[in-house]
Amino acid sequence: MLLHLRLITWSLICLLILSSGAGRPVVAEEKQTLNVLFIGNSYTARHNLAQVVKQMAEAGNPGLTFKPTTVIYGGRRLRDHWNLGSQNFVKLHSLTKAEEEQTIADLKKAAADKENRYARAALKRHQGLIKELDQPHPKWDVVVLQSYRDDVSGDPSLYAQYAPKFAALAKEQGARVILYETTPATQNKNPLRTAPETEPVMKKAKAIAALAKQLDASAAPMSLVGLYCQTERPDLTLRFLNDAHLNQTMAYLTACAIYAALFDKSPEGLPVDSITDIRFWNNKDRDKDRDGNPITKTFSDKDRAELQKVAWKGYQKFKQLRDGKAAN
């Protein structure tokens, strides 16, 4: 699906043809801005994923200014985000003071439970937001909805129940929706010695594809992308040994897949070649990641090219599943 580039400040400053002076037409530079909201948890926060996507988006689209905003609560799913009022950020351009006051009142009740640290964090976020409601807020061009263990069970799954709620608010303002499907259960922490199991991955990918079709959405289908990486580069790992989160390689693949979903074009050839995690080994070794390796991973030209190719392959396969064109 081509990005229809309803870029919120996709503005032609001027297009003036001068008939005097040198008699040469002068065409002003086109300027674009893409406003993107990411809703998720640590799978979005780690490696400053939104900023990596920004680097890729601007590198692959000269003249584009990519403006990411994140609403992140560690370990939370879309249902939790809904209960924490994250939907208010989706409809921020039209959010009323009364709506935000009601959200704050609800969160104050939830935050009375001292064990509910997420409600306290959300309350603080919304108390800051209400002070800014009188400021102009642009409509989102794209809203990215991250899954997390809420997309694998139930009929429909929790993800399938709540993604449409957020998507409806996004589409009311003309925003596109991207489903960022995480795959924590299939990320390998050691190089693979045998072929990866494909059946559970394909089952999950098909469910996400059906949801994407329902919502007319794109997706970063990380179960498929991970599977192709494990198949073609079994020497690579996709998560840390000492931390269950995606490692730099999987984060790079994820950024590439989101890029593909944003622009419906391959990330192949993008110059971005490194990625840095945000969690370090300890206070004395902040330049090392959770496994004690350099916290910034720079990919060789070969690995960078192969990872970009794998991400594009997974994205194309997903499109076939979504559009009903893939063989079983």
pLDDT at position 283: 79
Contacts of 325 (CB under 8 A, 6+ apart): 319
**pTM to 2 decimal places:** 0.89
Domain ranges of the chain: 33-95+137-323
Using alpha carbons, select from 255, 192, 180, 182 the residue that is nearest to residue 219.
180
pLDDT at position 21: 35
pLDDT at position 31: 52
CA 21, CA 55: separation in Å to the nearest integer?
A: 40
Give mean pLDDT in consecutive 10-residue pieces for the chain, a chain of 328 residues: 39 31 35 92 98 98 97 97 98 96 97 93 96 92 97 91 98 97 97 96 96 98 98 98 96 98 98 96 90 97 98 98 80
CA 50, CA 36: separation in Å to the nearest integer?
A: 9
Tell me if 30 sits within 8 A of 12, measured CB to CB.
yes
pLDDT at position 328: 54
Backbone dihedral region of 122: left (phi > 0), alpha (psi from -120 to 50 degrees) or beta? alpha
pLDDT at position 23: 36
**Which CATH number describes the domain made up of 33-95+137-323?**
3.40.50.1110
pLDDT at position 138: 86
pLDDT at position 169: 98
